[in-house]
Structure 1
Amino acid sequence: MEKLSIVVPCFNEQETIPLFYPAVQKVLAKMPKVTPEYWFVDDGSNDNTLIELKKLHEQDKHVHYISFSRNFGKESAIYAGLSAATGDYIVLMDVDLQDPPELLPKMYKILQTGEYDAVGCRRVDRKGEGKFKSFLSNQFYKVINRISKVEIVSGVRDYRMMTRQMVNAVLSMKEYSRFSKGIFAWVGFKTKYLEYHNVERVAGETDWTTHKLFKYALGGIADFSQAPLNLAVWIGTTSFILSIIGLLVVIVRKLIVPGSSILGWASTISIILLIGGLQLLCIGIIGRYIGKIYLQVKERPIYIVKEKK
């Protein structure tokens, strides 16, 4: 019998937990050679998520939970769940059933061959999702794959089953600012991707607003690419060259046309504002990277556990 650890991050999911557990159990019944181990991570929920998890723990001793002292974010919950998991294989799932449990037997069977170290899942469409959010998501994958050496498959979910070796490699990365999709790709290992059509939440509402997703994407780019820093260097170099050319034009015109003056107060102010804006942009880019360094060197814990069973 091999142990399969199921890591499930939760934030305000009191409605979905009672639906998630029986749905997964129904699928696991078709996997008799596997002993399940659940690790639900309550990421500082404000509703009755923890109460629901305690009920499950009393019902099934294979169900464990970790409760944070406050909301630390999904990435911290993922790290906590992977750290607690003791299985030979570990699968990461969302509790809203947007990750179809029906794929678990196929994922397990693929890993059993020994040919792959992980099986990930990617959506082939975004039916039911807002068009603007879908557009931004698609553009994010295009951008990060062009400016980063780490390739992230478009439409890939956090939903994946991994071997113990790969999970240990992921846990060896202790960085405070975490972007799991990038980390899973960076550690390497051979991964096979299963495709499926988008599934909507079974209950409740997602906490991932467009604004939060945009911030998350910017964090991912900063974590796995130096392109923004190179952009700042390029902007500074271009501005310097243009200013030298402009200065030469003024000097040559003054020498060729005695008594001439350069008119255009409005254009001059516009140029000053443009250069000032570019400088602030570059400082902001550099500041974002410095901020990540600052958070890392303080060595604060990635999460704080209030209760664990």
Structure 2
Amino acid sequence: MENHYAIVTPCYNENETIIKFLLSLEDTLRNIPYHFTVVVVNDCSTDHTLDLLSKFRFKANNLKLDLLSLRVNLGHQGAIHQGLLYAKGLNVDKFIVMDSDGEDDPHAILNLLVHQEADIVHVVRGKRNERIFFRIAYFFYKLLFRAITKKDMNFGNFCMINRRVLNAATHTSFIHFAAFLSKVRGNHAYITCDRQKRIGGESKMKTSSLIYHAFKSLTEYAEDLLMLFLKLFIFLATCFVGLIGYIFYQKFFTDDAILGWASTMSVGLFNTALIAIGFYVIGIILLNISHYRNISSREPLYERIPSKNEHEYLTIFLDA
């Protein structure tokens, strides 16, 4: 439907924060000539988040709330994936993904809507409000990502995608949404927006979470990592062959051979090469396992259930 957008936002144990976010969203979008279906994915919250959401209704005529409640906790990325699976069935062509804690500024949506021609519009992160140690860790993470993938990771989940990209994301699944989008071929556009302070509560992204998040983003580039290990193996194998040749030269053609050092270095290089090729083989196996697992995760796993007062919300039923 023209001028109709879906906004997918996951939440976990947000309590009043999610309501404040939705009110902020409504205040920003209520007077523009577009319609929005806001898909909130409750990731198995253990507090009062679901109760608060089930009672919430937008007052603005151009916003509608669809609530998804996961039976099991899938994590932030899994919740986004389920939200996209549901949004795929909506009669819209543009899909916005953002966090619900207030750090993704709803006002940036107005700038996203300008780039109608783009397949993906990324919201590049400007100033951040995290502690200095977190910002330093994030800086080195971006350097590592750049070194391995030759791409910049200066954006997060906040973006707008078209249906072609949505179909790709829901067909193959993903582990890290932003890293997945960085691989998608097409017309990419970028806007910059400062990260806002959380509306309430504490951030769930600690330094340890950032490290785990970084590994997940690199998993999206598993082929590049495997090639890195393969190149390392080839380099070490070449060094090993060269060292063996040098050992024979020293032993049979000179009197400069030092007992023990050559064999020690050879064993060390050989073991390192074995480790490198071992990582490569294990990576190939895991990559294929992940591929077949993703095939089984393409179908949406939700059921529509009527709620009180003749309103509806959705509950996802997943087998543990």
- Of 209, 212, 236, the residue aligned with 2:209 is 212
Q: Which residue, 88, 93, 96 being the options, matches 2:98?
A: 93
2:172 to 174, 178, 186: 174
1:19 paired residue number: 20
Aligned partner of 1:39 in structure 2 is 39
Aligned to 1:65: 67
2:297 maps to which of 256, 279, 301: 301
Deviation of 1:261 (Å):
7.2
Task: Return structure 1 stretches of 4+ with deviation > 6 angstroms.
Answer: 58-61
Between the aligned partners of 1:222 and 1:243, the Cα distance in structure 2 is: 30
Q: Hey, what's the Cα distance between the residues in 1 that align with 2:165 and 2:249?
A: 65
1:277: how far off? 4.6
1:79 to 74, 81, 92: 81
Q: Say if 1:30 and 1:105, in contact at 8 Å, map to a contact too.
A: no
Written as runs of structure 1 = structure 2, the 5 A alignment for 1:98-247 is: 98-108=103-113, 110-111=114-115, 114-126=116-128, 128-148=129-149, 151-152=151-152, 154-171=153-170, 173-175=171-173, 177-224=174-221, 226-247=223-244
For 1:268 and 1:116, the matched residues in 2 are separated by 59
CA displacement, residues 234-277 of structure 1 (integer Å, 9 cap, x when unaligned): 3322332333333333333333468x974347x85576456435
- With normalisation by structure 1, the TM-score equals 0.80
Cα distance in structure 1, aligned partners of 2:133 and 2:6:
35
Give the 3-state SS of the residue equivalent to 1:120 in structure 2. Answer: strand
Structure 1 residues 159-205: Cα deviation after superposition (integer angstroms, max 9, x where no partner)? 1223344433433x324x43222332333343332212231212122
- The answer as to whether partners of 1:98 and 1:198 remain within 8 angstroms in 2 is yes
Change (3 A) 1:58 1:239: closer
Q: What is the CA distance between 1:70 and its match in structure 2? A: 1.4
CA distance in 1, matches of 2:81, 2:224: 27
SS at match of 1:13: coil
Between stretches 282-291 and 51-60, larger displacement belongs to: 51-60
Give the 5 Å matches for 1:253-268.
253-256=250-253, 262-264=258-260
Aligned to 1:276: 271
SS of equivalent residue, structure 1 residue 46: coil
Residue 281 of structure 1 deviates from its aligned partner by 4.5
Instruction: Tell me whether 299-308 or 203-212 shows the greater mean CA deviation.
Output: 299-308
TM-score, normalization: structure 2?
0.78
User: 237-246 vs 36-45, which deviates more?
Assistant: 237-246
Q: What are the residue-to-residue correspondences of 1:41-56 with 2, within 5 Å? A: 41-56=41-56
Q: Distance in 2 between matches of 1:287 and 1:103?
A: 42
Structure 1, 180-189 or 270-279: larger mean CA deviation: 270-279
Identity of aligned residues (%): 21
Q: Deviations over 1:252-308 (max 9, x none)?
A: 3333468x974347x855764564355335423542442232133244436854875
Residue correspondences, number: 298
**CA distance in 1: counterparts of 2:144 and 2:36, whole angstroms:** 38
Identify which range, 64-73 or 189-198, moves more after superposition.
Answer: 189-198
Quote the Cα distance in structure 2 between the aligned partners of 1:188 and 1:181: 14
Query: Residues 27, 203 of structure 1: CA spacing in aligned structure 2 closer, same or farther, 3 A cutoff?
Result: same
In 2, Cα distance between the equivalents of 1:271 and 1:66? 58
Shift of 1:24: 0.7
Distance 1:257 1:160, change over 3 A: closer
Distance 1:50 1:289, change over 3 A: farther
